[in-house]
């Protein structure tokens, strides 16, 4: 990937408003995320196994890629992608370091 390609990626802080298990899926959660816009966005993510207690996600801020084309996953539209890291200890979502970060803040 060139630097010019990387500059096209838009990453924003988003606050998870709700997290629900997707029916008929062991892996997927349906997240409602506030990016400081008029309406929340729906994000479908394969993080259910790492976060069986979905309530720990609600009210927390994480980093998302927000300028991807919407994608249908199990018939549900995903309007962004949450960033995560994975190692032998498991999956971790990427959170902003600054506790004062606001929904919609752009990483740059």
CATH at residue 31: 2.40.50.140
**Predicted confidence (pLDDT) per residue in 56-90, tens digit:** 999 999 999 999 999 999 999 999 999 999 999 89
pTM of this prediction? 0.93
Dihedral of alpha carbons 19, 72, 35, 94, sign: positive
Residue 23 has pLDDT above 90, yes or no: yes
Q: What residues does 20 pair with on adjacent strands? A: 30
**Predicted confidence (pLDDT) per residue in 49-63, tens digit:** 999 999 999 999 999
Structural domain containing residue 30:
3-93
Residue 102 lies in a domain: no
Provide the domain count of the chain.
Answer: 1
Phi, psi of 7 (to 5 degrees): -60, -20
A 10 A CB-CB count for 27 gives 13
Residue 103 lies in a domain: no
Query: Which has the closest alpha carbon to 63: 101, 27, 7?
Result: 101
Residue 72 lies in a domain: yes
């Amino acid at each position: 990937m060139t630097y010019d390609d990387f500059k096209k990626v838009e990453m924003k802080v988003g606050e998870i408003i709700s997290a629900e298990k997707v029916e008929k899926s062991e892996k997927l959660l349906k997240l409602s995320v506030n990016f400081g816009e008029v309406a929340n966005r729906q994000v479908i993510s394969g993080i259910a196994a790492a976060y069986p207690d979905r309530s720990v996600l609600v009210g927390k801020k994480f980093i998302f890629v927000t300028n991807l084309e919407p994608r249908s996953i199990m018939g549900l539209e995903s309007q962004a992608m949450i960033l995560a890291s994975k190692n032998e200890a498991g999956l971790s979502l990427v959170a902003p370091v600054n506790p004062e970060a606001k929904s919609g803040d752009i990483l740059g």
